[in-house]
Amino acid sequence: MNIVRPVTPRGRYHHGDLANALTTAATQLARDGGPEAVVLREAARSVGVSATAAYRHFAGHGDLMHAVKECAQGALADRMRAELAASPADPDPRREAVRRLEAIGMGYIGFALDEPGLFRTAFCRADKGFEEAAASMANSPAFQLLGEALDALAETGLLPAERRPHAELFAWSSTHGLAMLLLDGPLSELPGPDRELVIARTLQGVLDGLIGLTDHSGLD
Amino acid sequence: MNIVRPVTPRGRYHHGDLANALTTAATQLARDGGPEAVVLREAARSVGVSATAAYRHFAGHGDLMHAVKECAQGALADRMRAELAASPADPDPRREAVRRLEAIGMGYIGFALDEPGLFRTAFCRADKGFEEAAASMANSPAFQLLGEALDALAETGLLPAERRPHAELFAWSSTHGLAMLLLDGPLSELPGPDRELVIARTLQGVLDGLIGLTDHSGLD
DNA sequence: TGTACATCAGTGAACGCGCGTTCACTGATGTAC
DNA sequence: TGTACATCAGTGAACGCGCGTTCACTGATGTAC
Q: Does the nearest atom of strand C lie within 7 Å of B29's Cβ? A: no
Average pLDDT over residues A130-148: 84
Query: Over 50: is that where the pLDDT of A181 sits?
Result: yes
Proximity of residue A51 CB to strand C below 7 A:
yes
**Tens of pLDDT, residue by residue, chain B (220 residues):** 333 333 334 446 677 799 999 999 999 999 999 999 999 999 999 999 999 999 999 999 999 999 999 999 999 999 999 999 999 999 999 999 999 999 999 999 999 999 999 999 999 988 878 888 877 777 888 899 999 999 999 999 999 998 898 899 999 999 999 999 999 888 888 888 889 999 999 999 999 899 875 444 444 4
| Residue numbers in A near B131 (CB within 8 A) | 188-189
In this prediction the pTM is 0.90
CA A41 to chain centre: 26
Going by C-beta distance under 8 Å and a sequence separation of 6 or more, which residues neighbour residue A78? none
Residue B188 has φ and ψ, to the nearest 5°, of -70, -25
Q: Which pLDDT score, from 0 to 100, does residue B48 have?
A: 95
Q: What are phi and psi of A43, to 5 degrees?
A: -65, -45
Average pLDDT over residues A108-136: 89
Of B174, B176, B188, the CB nearest to A131: B188
Pairwise CA distance, residues A134 & B188, whole Å: 7
Question: Chain A residues with CB inside 8 Å of B210's CB?
Answer: 205
Chain A and chain B share a number of CB contacts under 8 A equal to 144
| A198, HSE (Cβ side, Cα atoms, 13 Å) | 25
Residue environment code for B194-208, b if the CB has 16+ CB neighbours within 10 A, otherwise e: ebeebbebbbbbbbb
Name the minimum distance, in Å, from the CA of B1 to any CA of chain A: 27
Bases of chain C with protein Cβ within 7 A? 9-14, 18-24, 27-29
Task: Give CA–CA dist A123/B132, Å, rounded.
Answer: 24
What is the structure's pLDDT at B15? Answer: 78
What average pLDDT does the segment A181-188 reach? 87
What's the confidence (pLDDT) of residue B16?
Answer: 78
Q: From CA A30, how far away is CA B68, in angstroms rounded?
A: 27
Q: What is the pLDDT of residues A109-119, one digit of tens each?
A: 999 999 999 99
Structural contact between residues B112 and B179, judged by C-beta atoms closer than 8 angstroms: yes
Q: How many CB atoms lie within 10 A of CB B21?
A: 21
Chain D nucleotides covered by protein, CB below 7 Å:
9-14, 18-24, 27-29
A111: three-class secondary structure by DSSP: helix
What percentage of chain A's residues is helix, strand, coil (to nearest 5)?
70, 0, 30
3-state secondary structure of B165: coil
- Residue B15: CB less than 7 A from any atom in strand D: yes
Q: Long-range contacts: A184-187, Cβ < 8 Å, 24+?
A: A184/B123, A184/B125, A184/B130, A184/B134, A185/B123, A185/B134, A185/B137, A185/B176, A186/B134, A186/B135, A186/B136, A186/B137, A186/B138, A186/B143, A187/B169
Q: Kindly report which listed range (A17-31, A71-85, B173-187) carries the lowest average pLDDT score.
A: B173-187
Lowest mean pLDDT among A12-16, A65-69, A107-111, A174-178: A12-16
Nearest to B121 by CA among B138, B107, B133: B133
- State the best of B170, B172, B173 to mutate against chain A, taking most chain A CBs within 10 Å: B173
Of A179, A189, A198, the CB nearest to B169: A198
**Amino acid A213: pLDDT:** 55
Which stretch, A49-63, A153-167, A178-192, has highest mean pLDDT? A49-63
Average pLDDT of the segment spanning A82-93: 96
For residue A144, the chain B residues in CB contact (below 8 A) are none
